[in-house]
């Protein structure tokens, strides 16, 4: 409302009597000493007039005085009428009549006196209800808002009072400013910190500026303009806390009244009072923002303010969890704010490590027994179909999906491949009807949670099979029992696979004699196969107690999950395949060793995780926020998040299949086969290594490919150092070997073209010309 109107509305009478300062243009000046003195005197006089029957607070009286420009009569009138609860409009009219008579008479012909009442400065006459805890939009119902002027006056007063304290705050504010300068983004997210930032801007120099600024009403400090809504939310709460104690006389200093209005703030810049320190827990802050509606007791906010306020109140309510827990006590220490700011800044930039004791966490977790098994066998032995059937019978795959596969497979003329498609998801794999890469799938029984690693049988994809087998705890060897196929398989990959899994440390093997339905469940065929295979496996180094044989048919599902109903198979009385799988014993994991993970795959995990890797944790533990080293690139990365078996987790331990979402690394440093390790215990990268090797075929000094998991690197056998005795492991006396025959054990020197991450005890496979020539142990 225009000040000039205000002036117009004044009774000249009063002006002459009481207002000795003349008409000041600069209303924005602070509460001068004169004003204070006048207020004080007015207060005393009002108190005298009211006497005992008024229990008004000093504040109220003062406000009223300010309203009426130190007109004691008016103030008294007003206050009394307030108290009586009479209708304000009426009293106003009466008052106007009573007081203004003399002047009216005197200035009868003055034009300004003929202004209709309603056009006069109505604002002054609105009733002032006892201070309630109402504010905001609700103010209409519960009490008339106090004028801005009143708010302004109060603000000034409080400002005066708070000056010393403010000065104390200043130095710490400077440091805070520095911090904010370093992390400017931290200012946005929380209203609390926004207000603190305004606080921080109040360096001593700037305080001076604001005082200067008062002389130029039009000048607005940008920060003040941007922040009022936030300040509004807090200032009242502050006031509410102070209120109870401010009832008595002479409590001027602590009289809280309202926080300055938006306008006042704009003019004066943020006052010391207006920024609430970060106190109270997140909950209390929330409740504050709720109380907001009941505490607002001055001007009706502008529509803008309402909107901003709504936003600002909503925000903390939405994510209370994110608030850092500040100090509970009510002190105004800026440190709390500073602390909060830091906290938020850190949260924005990087993942926090939770410093979990992963082993303890793992111990707490009473998880099911977990087992990974690799399905191996000659190409077209029915590995994928067998596993597809297993998943289907266990209801991991629903009927509809399978029907869809069946339809699609029939369209390609490969109707019998439908079950295999459960695992063979690749376009190429489906078109060609052959597994190319390891397929991973999970299923759970009552006791165990299994991970299937369905390996390709084709000889070209043995590197992929090795990658899968290196993650397995035990193996399922699938054998095609149909006439002719068993024999060709035995020559083919059946033996090679079995040897490979053995050389990679797999102890236990379940032999599924598949496709027995094609030979009418002939027991003699089963026995023949059992005999041959067990003889071979025993020589390959499997203990016979770790072997199990089962007749089954993957396509029809006999003896997979359910026992066969075929009358021809009645001779088999053992359990179905699933029971054999369940009887596997838990494997001890290398939890205490330093972290090792061979990268299986690098991919884009999604919009939020542009870089993800998968693999099985070979040893050690890992948790979110860990810094890891990628070898041989020697680049570090940070673990953004972890997925264990596709479920988010904060940590993981050896033996689990993980997806790690990484940050702070360029994807070009990652290759499948690289090893993730802790920076404190990096895996060595070798170009030359000694390997104790078991020859599968002839080994001479030659080119080989060295495989370990996904690691696939070219190298050379440069020297055959010594032949070893198979049983004792001692060096065989005599000359250096010039050729290793199949089955020989020897120590050889390998030279790699590039450095490869390998360490002692690592199990490697040597291949040359598409054949596995040996398997060895890095020494």
Binding residues (CB under 8 A) for another protein: these are 425-429, 432, 436-440, 458, 460-461, 463, 600-604, 614, 667, 670-672, 698, 700-703, 705, 712, 714, 716-718, 735-736, 738-739, 741, 751, 753, 767-771
Asked if residues 630 and 584 have their Cβ atoms less than 8 Å apart, the reply is no
Q: At what angle do helices 191-200 and 148-182 cross, to 10 degrees?
A: 90
The C-alpha atoms of residue 480 and residue 456 are separated, in whole angstroms, by: 15
Of the pair 426, 575, the CB lying nearest another protein is at 426
DSSP label of 689: E
β-strand 627-631 against 635-644: which pairing, if any?
A: antiparallel
Helix (H, G, I), strand (E, B) or coil at 451: strand
Single out the residue of 238, 249, 242 nearest to residue 272, CA to CA.
238
CA pair distance 4, 8, nearest whole angstrom: 6
Q: What is the DSSP letter of 27?
A: T
Residue placing its CB nearer to another protein in the complex, 580 or 675: 675
Q: For residue 652, list its beta bridge partners.
A: 622
User: In the complex, what is the shortest distance from the CB of residue 632 to another protein, in angstroms, rounded to a whole number?
Assistant: 14
CB closer to another protein, 358 vs 440 = 440
Instruction: Considering the complex, state which of residue 428 and residue 444 has its C-beta at the smaller distance from another protein.
Output: 428
Q: Containing H/E element for 540?
A: helix 523-540
Among residues 144 and 749, whose Cβ is nearest to another protein? Answer: 749
Q: 438: which residues sit within 8 A by CB, 6+ positions away?
A: 453, 454, 455, 456, 464, 465, 467, 468
Q: Which is nearer to another protein, 184 or 714 (CB)?
A: 714
By beta-carbon proximity to another protein, the closer residue of 259 and 695 is 695
Work out how close the CB of 281 gets to another protein at its nearest, in angstroms, rounded to a whole number: 44
The minimum distance between CB 669 and another protein, in angstroms, equals 11
> In the bound complex, what is the minimum distance in angstroms from residue 480's beta carbon to another protein?
21
- Shortest approach of another protein to residue 439 CB, angstroms? 7
Q: Give the Cβ contact number of residue 724 at 10 Å.
A: 19
Nearest-angstrom CA–CA distance, 341 and 278:
10
Q: At what angle do helices 228-242 and 282-295 cross, to 10 degrees?
A: 90
Write the CA distances from 762 to 439, 462, 468, integer angstroms.
24, 19, 16
- Closer residue to another protein (CB): 135 or 438: 438
DSSP 3-state of 283: helix
Rounded CA separation 497/506 (Å): 11
Measure CA 106 to chain center: 76
CB of 426 to another protein, least distance (A): 5
For the CB of residue 567, give the shortest distance to another protein in the complex, in Å: 38
Closest CB to another protein among residues 21, 769: 769
Nearer to another protein, 117 or 741 (CB): 741
Check residue 435 and report its DSSP letter.
-
Distances (CA, A) of 577 to 368, 476, 511, 565, 584: 19, 10, 9, 14, 12
CB 602 to another protein: min, Å: 5
User: Closest approach of Cβ 475 to another protein, in Å?
Assistant: 20
Residue whose CB is less far from another protein, 346 or 394: 394
Residues 751 and 363: their CA atoms lie apart, in Å, by 42
Nearer to another protein, 541 or 714 (CB): 714
C-beta of 258: minimal distance to another protein in Å?
A: 60
DSSP H or E segment with residue 450: strand 448-454
What is the smallest separation between the CB atom of 606 and another protein, expressed in angstroms?
A: 10
Rounded least distance, CB 352 to another protein, Å: 29
The DSSP secondary-structure symbol of 181 reads H
Contact (CB, 8 A) for 606 and 374: no
């Amino acid at each position: 409302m225009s000040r000039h109107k205000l002036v117009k509305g004044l009774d000249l009478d009063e002006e002459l009597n009481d207002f000795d300062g003349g008409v000041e243009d600069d209303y924005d000046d602070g509460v001068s000493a004169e004003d204070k003195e006048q207020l004080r005197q007015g207060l005393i006089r009002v108190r005298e007039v009211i006497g005992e029957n008024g229990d008004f607070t000093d504040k109220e009286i003062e406000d009223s005085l300010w309203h009426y420009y130190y007109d004691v009569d008016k103030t008294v009138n007003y206050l009394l009428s307030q108290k009586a609860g009479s209708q304000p409009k009426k009293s106003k009219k009466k008052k106007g009549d009573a007081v203004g008579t003399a002047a009216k008479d005197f200035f009868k012909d003055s034009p300004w006196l003929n202004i209709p009442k309603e056009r006069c400065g109505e604002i002054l006459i609105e009733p002032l209800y006892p201070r309630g805890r109402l504010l905001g939009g609700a103010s209409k119902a519960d009490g008339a808002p106090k004028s801005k002027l009143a708010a302004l006056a109060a603000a000034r007063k409080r400002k005066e009072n708070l000056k010393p304290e403010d000065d104390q705050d200043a130095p710490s504010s400077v440091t805070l400013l520095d911090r904010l300068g370093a992390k400017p983004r931290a200012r946005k997210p929380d209203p609390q910190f926004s207000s603190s930032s305004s606080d921080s801007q109040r360096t001593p120099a700037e305080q001076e500026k604001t005082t200067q600024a008062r002389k130029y009403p039009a000048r607005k400090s940008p920060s003040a303009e941007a922040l009022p809504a936030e300040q509004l939310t807090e200032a009242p709460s502050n006031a509410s806390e102070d209120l109870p104690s401010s009832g008595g006389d002479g409590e001027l200093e602590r009289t809280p009244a309202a926080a300055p209005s938006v306008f006042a703030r704009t003019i004066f810049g943020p006052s010391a009072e207006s920024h609430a320190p970060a106190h109270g827990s997140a909950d209390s802050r929330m409740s504050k923002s709720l109380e907001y509606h009941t505490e607002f007791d001055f001007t009706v906010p502008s529509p803008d303010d309402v909107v901003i306020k709504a936003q600002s109140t909503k925000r903390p309510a939405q994510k209370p969890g994110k608030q850092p827990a500040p100090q509970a006590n009510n002190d105004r220490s800026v440190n709390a704010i500073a602390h909060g700011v830091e906290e938020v800044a850190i949260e924005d930039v990087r993942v926090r490590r939770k410093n979990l004791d992963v082993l303890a966490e793992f111990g707490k977790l009473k998880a099911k027994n977990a087992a990974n098994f690799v399905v191996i066998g000659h190409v077209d032995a029915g590995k994928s179909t067998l596993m597809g059937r297993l998943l289907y019978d266990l209801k991991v795959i629903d009927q509809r999906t399978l029907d869809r596969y069946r339809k699609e497979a029939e369209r390609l003329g490969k109707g019998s491949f439908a079950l295999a498609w459960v695992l063979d998801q690749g376009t190429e794999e489906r078109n060609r009807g052959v597994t190319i890469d390891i397929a991973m799938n999970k299923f759970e029984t009552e006791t165990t949670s299994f991970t299937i690693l369905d390996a390709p049988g084709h000889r070209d994809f043995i590197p992929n099979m090795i990658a899968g087998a290196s993650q397995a705890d035990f193996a399922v060897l699938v054998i095609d029992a149909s006439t002719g196929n068993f024999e060709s398989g035995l020559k083919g990959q059946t033996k090679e696979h079995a040897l490979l899994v053995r050389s990679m440390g797999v102890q236990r093997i379940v032999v599924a004699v598949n496709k027995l339905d094609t030979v009418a469940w002939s027991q003699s065929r089963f026995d023949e196969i059992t005999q041959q295979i067990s003889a071979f496996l025993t020589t390959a180094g499997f203990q016979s107690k770790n072997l199990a044989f089962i007749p089954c048919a993957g396509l029809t599902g006999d003896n997979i999950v359910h026992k066969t109903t075929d009358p021809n198979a009645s001779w088999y009385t053992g359990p179905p395949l699933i029971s054999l799988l369940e009887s596997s014993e838990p494997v001890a994991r290398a939890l205490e060793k330093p972290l090792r993970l061979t990268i299986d795959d690098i991919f884009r995990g999604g919009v939020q995780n542009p870089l993800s890797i998968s693999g099985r944790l070979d040893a050690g533990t890992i948790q979110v926020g860990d810094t890891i080293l990628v070898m041989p690139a020697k680049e570090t990365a940070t673990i953004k998040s972890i997925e264990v078996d596709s479920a988010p987790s904060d940590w993981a331990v050896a033996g689990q299949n993980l997806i790690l979402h990484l940050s702070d690394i360029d994807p070009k440093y990652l290759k499948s086969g690289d090893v993730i390790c802790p920076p404190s215990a990096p895996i060595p990268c070798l170009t030359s290594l000694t390997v104790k090797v078991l020859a599968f075929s002839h080994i001479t000094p030659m080119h080989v490919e060295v495989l370990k998991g996904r690691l696939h690197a070219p190298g050379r056998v440069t020297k055959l150092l010594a032949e070893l005795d198979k049983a004792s492991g001692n060096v065989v006396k005599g000359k250096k070997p010039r050729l290793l025959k199949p089955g020989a054990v020897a120590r050889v020197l390998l030279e790699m073209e590039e450095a490869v991450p390998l360490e002692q005890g690592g199990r490697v496979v040597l291949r040359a010309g598409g054949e596995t020539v040996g398997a060895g142990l890095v020494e």
